[in-house]
Amino acid sequence: MSAPVRSRRTSVADIRALKGVRPIVSLTAYTAPMAQLLDPHVDFLLVGDSLGMVVYGFETTLPVTVEMMIAHGGAVVRGSNRSLVIVDLPFGSYQASREDAFRTASRILSETGAQGVKLEGGEEMAETISFLTERGVPVLAHVGLTPQLVNSFGGYKTQGRSEAEARKVRADAAAVAEAGAFAFVLEGTLEPLAREITAASPVPVIGIGASPECDGQILVSEDMLGLFNEFIPRHVKRYANLGASVGEAAAAYAADVKARVFPGLENTFQPKRGA
């Protein structure tokens, strides 16, 4: 009997090779069923620490723990079989030292089966990115608007408006690519700057609220599906309104329960003939 044929997962090398060939497609996923639905349509799934806000109802991503990322990372790996899966390193688990970063990243990779990690930061994280990549941990970097710095930025603000800010975003992008990141997310920058950075970068630039000219795009799935209404960033295009559908379905179910109407159960609890 021949072994079942399993399609190979996309690798970080495959993602790198897409630069200049075609746009890279990515979405976030936090659960196995959502990963299963998205898997056929994306190049990589990101288990983002945005799950702190979207799934757990926190106001920021800062309270997210390594244990949460491992639980959700494992679920997304089990729910998918062709996309690359990347898991975010949560706030406080990697910034203090490159050794801390390696300990967290290696635990996440070995306990979830994901193929890489994402971390936020530019020049200040370059040494850590080299340390990780040289030790077998592929890194997706994240520069521009980095949500874990919300307290330092004083909110979720577009980065690169002034020439000094633009210089910083440019330097961060160059530093993470030079340090060995296989790609980086560029979030919340003005379009001309994003276009310029994408043209100059040797590795793929994945935009979010940056520019259609980036090498690829990522969105929080619940934002684009209309499932998360607490905070809708300006860059999000809604491709569905599932929040409204869930509300309508719940209302219809409640009406059936109250009216004791259960079409699906009509035959289930009938006494057996002759009983």
Binding residues for ligand KIV, rule: CB under 6 A, are 28, 46, 48-50, 88, 142, 185, 208, 218, 220
Catalytic residue status for 124: no
- The residue at minimum Cβ distance from ligand KIV is 48
Select 234 or 258, whichever has its Cβ closest to ligand KIV.
Answer: 234
Q: CB–CB of 105/66 below 8 Å?
A: no
CB of 142 to ligand KIV, least distance (A): 6
Select 6 or 41, whichever has its Cβ closest to ligand KIV.
Answer: 41
Q: Which residues, listed in sequence order, are joined to residue 87 by a DSSP beta bridge?
A: 47, 117
Q: Which of 120, 187, 196, 222 is catalytic?
A: 187
Q: CB–CB of 27/219 below 8 Å?
A: yes
Query: What angle, 0 to 180 degrees and rounded to 10, lies between the N-to-C axes of helices 98-112 and 66-79?
Result: 40
Distance CA 274, CA 113 (A): 55
CB of 185 to ligand KIV, least distance (A): 5
Torsion angle of C-alpha atoms 244, 247, 249, 250, degrees rounded to 10: 170
CB of 216 to ligand KIV, least distance (A): 11
Compute the radius of gyration of the chain from its Cα atoms. Answer: 21
Select 55 or 162, whichever has its Cβ closest to ligand KIV.
Answer: 55
Active site residue ranges: 187
